[in-house]
Amino acid sequence: MSNSETVKVNIKPEAADKIKGQVKEGQVVLLSLNDGSNKYSDVGGTCTVGSSFQFVILDQKDPDFTIEVENNAGLDLYTSPAEMQYLGNDLVVDEKNAAMSLADDGGVIDGAVTVNEYNK
């Protein structure tokens, strides 16, 4: 994907409900890798690099996550330059059978996206 300062994602209604159900007013959400590469990751190991994502809920913006993610769910959503190398065009978040997926025009990136609140 390009290094543009804005990314767009289509969050399907079921996935939007799942995410928004955990976000309180005033909180921000990050689209973050969950592969051991950042402070929000709760997993590690080289087998997950670039293939595992999560939505992280924070009380305030993280200065490392500077790229705004435009979305149809009304979330205050950001990602970082480190995540961009794994994201293609036409991003879609969907939810089926209680599991959320992240896909782009190349196919499914992660079939088990989680939502986690991060408390420092």
CB 28 within 8 A of CB 58: yes
* pLDDT for position 6: 72
In whole angstroms, give the CA distance from residue 15 to residue 31: 14
Exposure letters 52-65 (e unless 16+ CB within 10 A, then b): bbbbbbbeeebeeb
* pLDDT for position 118: 87
In angstroms, the Cα distances linking 89 to 12, 42, 50, 94, 103 are 16, 27, 16, 15, 9
- The model's pTM is 0.88
* pLDDT for position 1: 44
In whole angstroms, give the CA distance from residue 76 to residue 57: 10
* pLDDT for position 2: 44
From 65, 57, 107, select the one nearest 84 (Cα to Cα).
Answer: 65
Query: Digits of tens for pLDDT over the chain (120 positions)?
Result: 444 567 999 999 999 999 999 999 999 999 999 987 788 887 655 444 557 899 999 999 999 999 999 999 999 999 999 999 999 999 999 999 999 999 999 999 999 999 999 875
At residue 84, φ and ψ (nearest 5 deg) are: -60, -30
